[in-house]
Each structure stands twice: as structure tokens, then as C-alpha cells.
A and B are shown apart, each in its own frame.
Chain A
Amino acid sequence: KNEVEQSPQNLTAQEGEFITINCSYSVGISALHWLQQHPGGGIVSLFMLSSGKKKHGRLIATINIQEKHSSLHITASHPRDSAVYICAVRGETSGSRLTFGEGTQLTVNP
């Protein structure tokens, strides 16, 4: 079993829909990251969480430390949101080392 599990692996939505991507992890962490990767490879950090909830524009990320679970929500999805979304965790004693989920390929159709 991977230390970081994401679901779903693939997600297709219509423009305007509310989207949720889930991430579960099995280790103690100091932080959880949500990353976005567009074709071409560049990775952008969307959120870094150690507790609670963060919001940036149409994106919301939550984390439940007790349940070892995090969700990324996209409200009013848009075709430009189409990308791979990756959950990554930083262990309690692992410096800057990140362990990644397999990613969720999101396609938003107009």
C-alpha cells in the first residue's frame, strides 16, 4: 500500500461543476501539499497545510490530521483548471523530502 493514496485517478467534469479530489496518507506528517502540474511538466504548489482549511480563489483545501485525510475542492470549475493535481506529504522527520500520490488527471470540458 502506498503511503499516499489519491482518488479519483481520473476525473472529467463540465465547466462550472464543483470538484473534489481526495488524499489519504498513512504516516505522521509535518505538512501536506497540493500541487498542480500542467502538460510540459512545471509543478506549482497550490497549498501547504498542516491543519484546518485554506482558500485561494476558487480553490479550497482541507485537512483532517486525526483521520489522515485531505481534500482539494475546486468551485465553478473552468477548462483552464485541467491539469494533474498531486497530493504530497512531508514526514515529521524527513526534512524537505516529499512523498507523492499518483496524481489525479482532471479534465474540465466547456
Chain B
Amino acid sequence: KAGVTQTPRYLIKTRGQQVTLSCSPISGHRSVSWYQQTPGQGLQFLFEYFSETQRNKGNFPGRFSGRQFSNSRSEMNVSTLELGDSALYLCASRGQGASYEQYFGPGTRLTVT
């Protein structure tokens, strides 16, 4: 089975721009979660989608949004980028049931200049 894939792997944007990141989960996984990792704040939960519905949301401003498609692929969007949005963005997919593990993608490294 193919693992979780994320595109693009690296991205450089300018303050004020917007960005869309993509995540393709492991086949059959319907839950996709997004995380932000920065040196100062560590790993933080952004949101989780399950069967095209946002099931959970972290404490991030409304500039951060996401969606999930019927094939479970997910996108996250950050509008009006700020320097502090520079981070590694990770997605993870998980199968149904409490015993299922999360599998992480390689991440997208976003640099905002």
C-alpha cells in the first residue's frame, strides 16, 4: 500500500499571499488530520476531516481552512500569509476504529518571506 503523500514538498511564498497544500491518505483511510510544526510551538493540531466533514479543529485563526473530497484526499488553505506561518505542515491518515494508528506524510515545508 502506498503511504501518505503530500504535495508540494517545499514552498516559498510572500506575506499576504495564500497557499494550498494537498494530502493523499493511505487507500481506505477516511480520517485525515493536519498538524503544524514550528521550532517555537512544536507540533500543533490544525484540524481533522472524516468523510468530508470537519470533525475537530485546533486553536488556529480562520485564515487556516481545509476540506476533504469524496476520495478522502484533503487540502488545507492558508490565506493572507504571515511570517509566522513558516512551518512544516504534516498530514496524517488513519483507519476507522480505536486500534488504528496514524500514519504521517513527509510534510510540506512552507517558507513565508
Proximity string of chain B (86-105) to chain A, C-beta cutoff 8 Å, 1 when within and 0 when not: 00101010100010011110
Interface of chain A, helix or strand or loop or mixed?
strand
Which positions in A face B, CB cutoff 8 Å? 30-31, 33, 35, 41-45, 48, 50, 86, 88, 94-100, 102-103
Q: Is the CB of A97 within 8 A of B43?
A: no
Q: Chain B residues with Cβ under 8 A from A31's Cβ?
A: 98
Pick the contact of A45 from B55, B90, B102 — CB < 8 Å?
B102
- Assuming the contacts A41-B109, A48-B101, asked whether A102 and B42 have C-beta atoms less than 8 A apart, the reply is yes
- Assuming the contacts A41-B37, A41-B107, A41-B109, asked whether A97 and B101 have C-beta atoms less than 8 A apart, the reply is no
Q: Chain A residues with Cβ under 8 A from B68's Cβ?
A: none
Q: Is the CB of B48 within 8 A of A97?
A: yes
**Which residue on B lies nearest to A43, using beta carbons?**
B104
Q: Is the CB of B103 within 8 A of A45?
A: yes
Q: Is the CB of A95 within 8 A of B31?
A: yes
- Assuming the contacts A41-B107, A43-B90, A103-B42, asked whether A98 and B102 have C-beta atoms less than 8 A apart, the reply is yes
